[in-house]
Structure 1
Amino acid sequence: MFAVLVSACSSDFSVEPSDARQTRFAIESRHWGTPWHVTVTLPEGYNAASEGRYALLLHFAFDQESYEWTREVVDEFNAGEGQHDIILASLDYVDGSVEVGDEQASENANKTLAHIEDAVLPFLREEYRVDGNVIFAGWSRFGRFATYALARKPELFDAAIVRSSAPDDSDLHDRVREMLESKPQLEIFVYHSIGTEGNEADRRPIFERLKQVLQGAAPNGVQWKSEVIEGADHVDTFSLGLRSGLSAYFEASEQLLDQDGEP
């Protein structure tokens, strides 16, 4: 059983539900010692009694706009041809919870990742009809955390979508390489992108570093795509990269289905 409370969470920002498809939960975190909110947005026509299963997109909402942008992209996928029926789970952002770097920051990042593993994902799988497509998406500092999650706990997710990751001077990409080299049977899809405008040049070395790691160390079961989005600045990569990442992941999944005859 999971502790689902109605008390307030000590987040910097809280999603404001706006329609009947949204439900807001506070899930107790033994790692943080406080409830942590997650807002679930269901696709139109979701039927808990059906045999259908749904992909899950997990991300951090750091302001209302970031949540709305993400929901807009997901709604487009759910309504489009060959829809994939994605459940959107938006975690409130808590200050310092996704930073990677010094000892204290990494301790907080570990607690956040443990909360996702021990409480958030089990709760969502128990409460909703989630299939094997669990996608973790991050942008900027949250993209750096998504890379950290990939290095630490790659088995938690079926795909990682990293857009315009924040600059990082830690050994994060060395950790990704070590993880890939130690897990020859790993199966996951990794998408990462960068824009070409504004201060995206400051993030380009991080993009190139992850690309090099994937080129040199990814085992056969790790599919990946690196993309430079022409004409996009840092803000543009939020939605453009998410659209492209989801498309690339589902395309790769369908190709595997055609080859193997089963998901």
Structure 2
Amino acid sequence: MHTMWKGSISFGLVNIPIKLHAATENKDISLRTLHKECHSPIKYEKVCPVCEKEVGSEDIVRAFEYTKGKFVVIDDEELEELKKVNEERAVEIIDFVKMEEIDPIYFNKSYYMSPNEGGVKAYSLLRAALEQSKKVGLAKIIIRAKEQMAVIRVVENTLLMETIHYPDEVRSVADVPNVPAGENVTDKELDTAIMLIDQLTTEFDPGKYNDDYRTALLELIESKKEGRTITPKERDTPAAAKVTDLMAALQASIDRTKPEKPAAKKRVARKKTPAKRKEA
């Protein structure tokens, strides 16, 4: 597994040399843009709209636009110095909390952590302490020039770090439009909805979920490479009935998802055997 970051995690005076490995991967299929006439890849150039000429990477600087058309230019050296100063404190576990206290909306990206040279003992200690205390560590870390909050927890005997958003990066629910203020549902509707939920409840098995669109797109690509024509397969999900009444829709959903009863076994008629005569 590719190492994407090396450093150390510390809590108190305990220092753990570690490596980070991306725990997830993006499997989106990337499509190129071509010239329709000759199928050549389109080239995108960086052009200055004022000077009306192409600009090379050596002529580009970074800046913050603090008001329309007004910029503060920041040199790469200044960014590098700022990063160096903050890296010293970026990997310290600052608090321990219960996992259930963190809403899933904060979670961003996951990384597996493995011990680097000399870090096996401390790695094992932190892992055991987290498991025993049933807590997770809150840390700060700089990855790719950005300081991030992170949660460190144990997953299948391995330390996992999940970057999380800062509170000011999560938008307020008060800004969501058209959210009803109260529950304007009847007891019967609620009971029926809960019955439907119970009927559809199962144990989470990630292996049974697939990206159907990506699979179909890959099949289309392979067929066109081989000069074949395929028709996209229709999904097996039954068409939704046009039901305007909420209660009727709930009941129809329950009827559709109700597990089929096993077929009744046919009774096999047994031939009656004559009773044995009693011996005299």
TM-score (norm 2): 0.20
| Larger CA Rg, structure 1 vs 2 | 2
Where is the helix percentage greater, Structure 1 or Structure 2?
A: 1
